[in-house]
Amino acid sequence: MSNNNTEEEVETTTTNNDDADAAVTTSSSCPPHSNWSKDKLTGKSVSFKGLPIGSGSDNSGNSGGRTSLLKRRSSKQAMAATPMEDGIHPQLWGRPGHLTDAEADVYLAFKDVVDMRGGDFKNTVYCFGEEEGEVYALCRWCRARKYIFEDIMMMVEEATKCRSDAMIAEFYPDPKSALGCDTALYSAQYPQVYSGFAKNGSPLYFSKVGCLDVEAIECITTVSSIVEYHWHVMMHDFATRLRSHKKNDPQFNKFECVVVMDLANLTMSQLGSKSLSIVKEQSAIDSLCFPETLNKMYIINSPLFFSATWSIIKGWLDPRTANKVEVISSRKTWEKALLEYADADQLPSDYGGTGPNTQDTIEKETFTGKLKRMHSEMLYVR
């Protein structure tokens, strides 16, 4: 079974074959907004080699009811076990149909609060709209805080506060007004674009960090304006793509993104405090207000100095998060990896596929009016 095609729909069963490993079959018959029972939330644990079916279930019982169980499981130490230690594959851990009894009780308690409070609190949880589906949206927030109820509540409260100003501005529907410059000019200094979909339905996002010209960006916009533009991208671009894909494919429920970070031509000077401040601001918003939306990240064309740095950084990350990231320098190797994750017609031609070149897509999406071609240069005047 390929991990990138693993699904977490309503009912999961395992079928054994004498001549093959256990296969996972799934079905999704419930409408996206229907309530999931505890039985459906827990389902059956998926059997992997060396991991027995059911090893991830909670044997503590439910005699104490939802509230008392939440109190017993609110401790970080009680939830500290890694997904594999619980017998659940990292890509299935915390997802609908693969919860432990304790996790299901946390989910149900969180659902009660979301239904009761409504308003801005609920809108924060359904950041991409209710089209995502109740169980998938709520489980994203639960996974982000490892099903610790108090931490989940605190996170949503903080996210609601974080997005309040942007919400008043309707999340900056006009990208040019948000940036303070033409989006085509900004993209020329920092090429980033959505192009195609992965095999699991997640949009493909390409970020050419190696082409980042921080000094040029400082001439045309500010960090605060870039943050406003980021709100626009997440709420008016990414969210729209997700909802559109959901409309075309009702079974799609991975409101997540596959990121390809291209470090070709990256220099040490580009990793200075100015560029890192941009990344820091955007990452803070994503991790707090759009949790668990990274499905997979490929860092490609990485220079030697970055590969050495990454080997250290990876040790600081949660194992489940670190497992989502692959650092690949060889073009032959990363082309093969990308083609395993996305069909050739969905992958841009400059990244080993047959889809539109990313530069063509950037120009198509950012050029307005009579603009046909753009060439920009940074001039230094003393």
Q: Give the residue-averaged pLDDT of 326-340.
A: 94
Amino acid at 324: K
Residue 204 phi/psi, 5° resolution? -95, 130
Residues 6+ apart with CB under 8 A from 328: 298, 299, 300, 302, 334, 337
Instruction: Tell me which H or E stretch contains 309.
Output: helix 304-313
Residues 6+ apart with CB under 8 A from 332: none
Residue with tokens 């530069």: 359
| Domains of the chain from N-terminus onward | 30-162 (no CATH), 174-366 (3.40.525.10)
Residues 274-283 have pLDDT tens digits of 777 888 888 8
Residue 326 token pair: 């692959």
- Banded pLDDT at 10 (limits 50, 70, 90): very low
Written as one string, the DSSP assignment of 69-128 is HHHHH-STTTT-S-GGGGT--TTTTTSTT---HHHHHHHHHHHHHHHHH-HHHHHHHTTT
Contact 343, 335 (CB under 8 A): no
Q: What is the pLDDT of residue 381?
A: 72
Residue 261: strand pairing partners: 207, 299
Q: What is the pLDDT of residue 64?
A: 39
Range of weakest confidence among 29-33, 96-100, 348-352, 364-368? 29-33
Cβ neighbour number for residue 184 with a 10 Å cutoff: 18
Q: Which residue has the higher pLDDT, 279 or 191?
A: 191
For the chain, what is the mean pLDDT? 80
Residues 124-158 have pLDDT tens digits of 999 999 999 999 999 999 999 999 999 999 999 99
The span from the CA of 171 to the CA of 168, in Å, is 7
Q: Give the residue-averaged pLDDT of 303-322.
A: 74
Predicted confidence (pLDDT) at residue 347 exceeds the cutoff of 70:
yes
The span from the CA of 140 to the CA of 294, in Å, is 11
Residue 210 token pair: 């190696």
The span from the CA of 205 to the CA of 64, in Å, is 46
Q: What is the pLDDT of residue 18?
A: 39
Q: Give the residue-averaged pLDDT of 27-39.
A: 59
Q: What is the pTM of this model?
A: 0.78
Q: If you count them, how many residues does the chain have?
A: 382
Listed in order, strand segments (DSSP E) in 170-230 are 192-197, 203-207
Nearest alpha-carbon partner for 266 in 258, 257, 275: 275
Sign of the CA dihedral with 137 first, then 140, 141, and 147 last: positive
Cβ neighbour number for residue 216 with a 10 Å cutoff: 18
Cβ neighbour number for residue 311 with a 10 Å cutoff: 10
Residues 49-86 have pLDDT tens digits of 333 333 333 333 333 344 444 443 443 433 444 445 45
The span from the CA of 10 to the CA of 28, in Å, is 5
The span from the CA of 122 to the CA of 246, in Å, is 20
Measure the N-to-C terminal CA separation of the chain; round to a whole number of Å. 61
- Banded pLDDT at 34 (limits 50, 70, 90): low
Instruction: Tell me which H or E stretch contains 356.
Output: none
The span from the CA of 139 to the CA of 142, in Å, is 5
Residue 119 token pair: 């308003």
Q: Give the residue-averaged pLDDT of 323-327.
A: 89
Q: What is the pLDDT of residue 86?
A: 55
Predicted confidence (pLDDT) at residue 266 exceeds the cutoff of 50:
yes
Residues 78-131 have pLDDT tens digits of 344 444 545 677 778 899 999 999 999 999 999 999 999 999 999 999 999 999
The one-character DSSP state at 236 is I
Residue 328 phi/psi, 5° resolution? -130, 125
The span from the CA of 90 to the CA of 93, in Å, is 5
Q: What is the pLDDT of residue 366?
A: 87
Residues 6+ apart with CB under 8 A from 239: 127, 128, 129
